[in-house]
Structure 1
Amino acid sequence: MKNKKGNWVTTISMIIPYLIIIGIAQAIAFYLLDVDITNGIPKTTTFQHFVIMLFTTAGSFLAVWCFTKYVEQRSFDIIGLKISGSFLKELLLGLFMPIVVFLVGFSVLSGSRQIFWKVNKEIDFGDLLLSAVTFILVALSEELFARGYLLGNLLTSLNKWVALAISSIIFAAFHLANPNMSWLSFVNLFLAGILLGLPYLFTKNLWFSIAFHFGWNFFQGTVFGFNVSGTERFSLILQSRVQNNAFNGGEFGFEGSVWCILAQLICIYIIYLIFKNRKLVEGDSPINQGQYLI
């Protein structure tokens, strides 16, 4: 018989096996790309980053499928990838909110002369496409484990707010090895975990979180030229700063700034208002949902 109630200790203990599987998948990618990582991970090209994330996402799907089926003894359907009646609305809303955040954030930082910018005159549309696909893979990979598996299973044995907080701390901790990490960056990544996990509490569905996660990274990095969680990637706008500080986020990017805290708190409040009254249609359970009523 399949378990109906999970064990939070078992769920959290899967973090190390997950990291091992992801590490093996990435090592294979580096080997195929002939990238030497003996002295650390070097800066990669847009294509190399795409291939690495392709293998990372495959590893994430494999790990979460195995953990769900053989450890939690549940159907993979509980992860939250079902197409619901609100699928398109959630995708569009998830994409729209980051656009507003970075339009406002970029304008404020530029207007206050915290950042300076110019248009990249060497735009490669191949890199633009690869960047978009890569950030889709990033969103899929991270949401699949952090929200779909981790938060989803913690919810079966813990209070939902405790589960959300624990999964958000773990999500932030996953980024501790990122370049230029700071305490402010950690706070912002913790808030990102809250923001991305909040809709899942009410819908048990990942599509809003995947769309928002993708939109956040893509518009932050590829469009507006901020470093994404400390890493520099191809962008349409090239940024520079007179000095790195808590207002412009420095080398970590927008996620290293106090403005990001404000932006995320506003988004969290709006998302809560939107999703708090979401109801499953009659006959569906939180673990096996189909259509939702808006």
Structure 2
Amino acid sequence: MYIEQGLNGKHESWRYLVGVLIIFIGWQLVGSIPLLAIVIVKSLGGETFPTDVAGMSKMIGSNLFLFLMLISFVFGLLATFVTTKYLHGQTIVSLTTSRNKIDWKRIFFAFGLWGCITVLITGLDIYLSPEDYVFNFKLQPFLILFFISILLIPLQTSFEEYFMRGYLMQGIGLMAAKRWVPLVITSLIFGLLHLFNPEVKELGYGIMVYYIGTGFFLGILTLMDEGLELAIGFHAANNLLTALLVTADWTAFQTESLYRDVSNPELGWDVFLPVLVIYPILLYVFSKKYGWTNWSDRLAGDVRQIETTELTKESGA
């Protein structure tokens, strides 16, 4: 069972509290130094210090801003791995999956499936509402964006999965001893971390249904499949294609993408369709492909505190 993989390392509650602090420092403090340094240098040259994503992107250029923003997640991922290995004495494989080794086929299947669906939905929307899009392709900026995205976005999304559905899922699960507790908590945290995205300001709090719903979807994938592989693949495809295909002046990803959305931002069907229709269908597809059973136990059952000790061995002898 996936949550029980945390028992393979040192899992006292204080270690997870210290671990979260270490990961936060690596991600938000150390990881933000390069971006902050560039912005400060630009400001010292007479430019106004920006306070929002769009302002920083405009000041230093969208590709450089994206690169520096994604670097912070690389530091977060490194901090997560270091914390897991040295503070908990746990292997990265056991943080990733309950299988003996990481199943890359699962990662690529989820990536390919969601990638195809995303391209199809985006292409259909551009075809049906051409007035909402402007072709934005510029060869050199797009190639730079492509290489930055291919290199760093999978690391960004992997950090979010390893931290949310990995480290926190196992830690909270072991403390609470109930599977539904980390599922709910990590999904809410995942959603709330997007609370200050510019999309929330433009579309209102209704978009939190999408963020929190996506958190639940990824959490269900992890618990039902006993590993992070499907969530890692899905999340990487989602963010990578978001960066490459369509951008807008009011989104968190300001990129040199193929298209620019010039429509007035509004809370529409595209926010609720994934959560209410597409995600349930995907769960059905994955469940059939990988033979998922015992849904209630895997999502809401007890976490089995199984630890083999010398005392147990002696008493059973």
TM-score bin, normalised by smaller chain = 0.7 to 0.9
Question: Are the equivalent residues in 2 in contact too, given 1:195–1:267 (CA < 8 A)?
Answer: no
Segment drifting more, 181-190 vs 103-112: 103-112
Q: 1:117 aligns with which of 121, 133, 142?
A: 133
Q: Structure 1 residues 75 and 134, CA, compared in 2 at 3 Å: closer, same or farther?
A: closer
Matched, 1:201 2:212: no
**Higher helix fraction: Structure 1 or Structure 2?**
2
Give 2:122's aligned residue.
106
Whole-angstrom distance in 2 between the partners of 1:228 and 1:65: 35
Give 1:25's aligned residue.
30
Matched, 1:151 2:196: no
- Kindly provide the amino acid, as one letter, of the partner of residue 83 in structure 2: C
Matched, 1:168 2:187: yes
Aligned pairs (5 A) from 1:173-192: 173-181=192-200, 182-192=204-214
Larger radius of gyration: 2
1:142-173 CA-partner distances (Å, limit 9, x unpaired): 11211110112223243222321211111111
Whole-angstrom distance in 2 between the partners of 1:82 and 1:94: 18
Segment drifting more, 192-201 vs 169-178: 192-201
> What SS is found at the alignment partner of 1:62?
helix
Question: Are the equivalent residues in 2 in contact too, given 1:64–1:149 (CA < 8 A)?
Answer: no
Whole-angstrom distance in 1 between the partners of 2:89 and 2:30: 24
Identity of aligned residues (%): 15
Whole-angstrom distance in 1 between the partners of 2:249 and 2:279: 17
Give 2:259's aligned residue.
237
Question: Are the equivalent residues in 1 in contact too, given 2:66–2:254 (CA < 8 A)?
Answer: no
Question: Are the equivalent residues in 2 in contact too, given 1:105–1:259 (CA < 8 A)?
Answer: no
Q: Structure 1 residues 133 and 186, CA, compared in 2 at 3 Å: closer, same or farther?
A: same
Question: Are the equivalent residues in 2 in contact too, given 1:199–1:272 (CA < 8 A)?
Answer: no
Give 1:139's aligned residue.
157
Whole-angstrom distance in 2 between the partners of 1:165 and 1:275: 24
Matched, 1:95 2:111: yes
After superposition, the CA RMSD in angstroms is 3.7
Question: Are the equivalent residues in 1 in contact too, given 2:146–2:244 (CA < 8 A)?
Answer: yes
1:119-145 CA-partner distances (Å, limit 9, x unpaired): 333133122221222311211221121
Q: Structure 1 residues 195 and 286, CA, compared in 2 at 3 Å: closer, same or farther?
A: farther
Matched, 1:65 2:79: no
Question: Are the equivalent residues in 2 in contact too, given 1:12–1:150 (CA < 8 A)?
Answer: no
Give 2:272's aligned residue.
258
Question: Are the equivalent residues in 1 in contact too, given 2:27–2:73 (CA < 8 A)?
Answer: yes
Question: Are the equivalent residues in 1 in contact too, given 2:62–2:254 (CA < 8 A)?
Answer: no
Matched, 1:247 2:268: yes
Give 1:267's aligned residue.
282
